[in-house]
């Protein structure tokens, strides 16, 4: 079969008005972009520095029309709880960290279109750090959100590090965002990367952080949704990428949960879809991650009501990350999925919930007394 040409993962950085500013164009062009942004009200319906919604609303604009020109500067200025960052269209090439003290913070993409507002950087786990050593997986994250109550709407979180450009680096994990806080919600967001794109985790082994993702898009190749959080992915689109560095299957794995053994809830994927750029059956649905720091982990993934393209290996959708922790001993299950990648041809390879069991695998059961879907 003829495969589509690989699409550069950097193509998104020139998709918005503000990108020209972030990429360093001429002063004349910058002036034209700024004038255009003023005419379009760069912060949309969310006010402006001269018409602030409240004292805890801060405005970010790459060309200087807001309170700050970088997202991290705005985060630093939000020295307390309950701040909202309204982020104008643009490409913000920076790393951003939201500490545990900055609780109940909200980021809003001002245009209402996630493609317009991109937070991106290009560190990988094996990227050398200034002063020695490498970043490691967590250190590679473009965005690190540790505070409880973090919410983001209509934004793109990306890591555009590419294997082909760094053949000497073996640590190819490159995280777009690591989320560790409880009650973290993402609505209408995009998460772009290759390996380890979306790290849905918690602050500590005994902390069962709850996260909610609705109407989001996530792409990658190896373990690109992973971690130990209790996370609900509702109506989300997961897309597996073509790889020109491999000649055979598997190219990678969509999910790699590392749920703590004591946590009764891991990852729940409901009402979504999984599409692929790759040849048929070149991707596994999941493999369990039992990290060396927690060999008692029992990874948990339930996928229900989700359409899977032929890119998922329907015959053997699960595989082991380590032979010492076979996937059959973990908590993997499916319920009423559709599409060629969901066909149950070898029943022992695709554990299915009964209707009675499925009643305990809902967003309400996973998120408990937290109801983000009513306010997002």
148 is catalytic: no
Task: Give the SS3 label for residue 359.
Answer: coil
**160 φψ region: left (φ > 0), alpha (ψ -120 to 50), beta (else):** alpha
Examine residue 182 and say whether the peptide bond preceding it is cis (omega within 30 degrees of 0).
Answer: no
CA dihedral 199, 205, 209, 214 (to 10 degrees): 30
The helix (H) or strand (E) run that includes residue 34 is helix 27-39
160, 201, 221, 223: the catalytic one is 223
Which residues have CB under 8 Å from 173's CB, separation 6+?
Answer: 124, 125, 137, 140, 195, 196
Cis peptide before 25 (omega within 30 of 0): no
Secondary structure letter of residue 258 according to DSSP: -
Of the candidates 196, 201, 221, 313, the residue annotated as catalytic is 196
Q: Helix H segments across 50-128? A: 71-77
Paired strand residues for 254: none
| CA angle centred on 184, ends 321 and 174, rounded to 5° | 40
313 a catalytic residue: no
* Residues known to be catalytic: 196, 223
């Amino acid at each position: 079969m003829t495969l589509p040409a690989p699409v550069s993962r950097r193509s998104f950085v020139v998709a918005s008005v503000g990108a020209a500013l972030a990429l360093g164009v001429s002063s004349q062009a910058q002036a034209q972009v700024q004038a255009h942004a003023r005419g379009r009200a760069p912060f949309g319906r969310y006010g402006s520095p001269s018409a602030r919604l409240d004292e805890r609303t801060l405005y970010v604009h790459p060309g200087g029309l807001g309170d700050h020109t970088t997202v991290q500067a705005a985060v630093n200025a939000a020295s307390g709880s309950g701040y909202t960052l309204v982020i104008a269209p643009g490409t913000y090439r920076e790393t951003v960290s939201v500490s545990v003290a900055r609780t109940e913070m909200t980021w809003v993409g001002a245009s209402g279109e996630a493609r317009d507002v991109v937070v991106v950087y290009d560190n990988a786990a094996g990227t050398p750090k200034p002063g020695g050593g490498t970043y490691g997986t967590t250190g590679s994250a473009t965005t690190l959100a540790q505070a409880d109550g973090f919410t983001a709407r209509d934004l793109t979180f990306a890591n555009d590090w590419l294997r082909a450009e760094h053949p000497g680096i073996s640590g190819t994990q490159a995280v777009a965002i690591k989320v560790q806080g409880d009650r973290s919600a993402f609505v209408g967001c995009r998460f772009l990367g290759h390996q380890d794109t979306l790290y849905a985790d918690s602050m500590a082994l005994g902390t069962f952080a709850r996260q909610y993702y609705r109407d989001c898009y996530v792409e990658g190749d190896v373990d690109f949704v992973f971690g130990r959080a209790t996370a609900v992915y509702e109506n989300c689109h997961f897309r597996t990428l073509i790889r020109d560095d491999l000649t055979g299957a598997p190219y990678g794995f969509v999910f790699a949960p590392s749920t703590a053994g004591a946590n009764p809830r891991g990852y729940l994927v409901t009402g979504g879809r999984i599409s692929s750029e790759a040849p048929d059956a070149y991707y596994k649905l999941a493999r369990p991650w039992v990290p060396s720091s927690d060999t008692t982990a029992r990874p948990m993934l339930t996928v229900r009501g989700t359409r899977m393209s032929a890119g998922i290996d329907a015959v053997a959708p699960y595989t082991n990350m380590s032979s010492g922790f076979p996937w059959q001993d973990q908590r993997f299950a499916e319920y009423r999925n559709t599409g060629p990648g969901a066909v149950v041809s070898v029943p022992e390879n695709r554990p299915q919930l009964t209707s009675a069991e499925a009643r305990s695998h809902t967003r309400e059961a996973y998120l408990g007394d937290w109801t983000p879907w009513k306010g997002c």
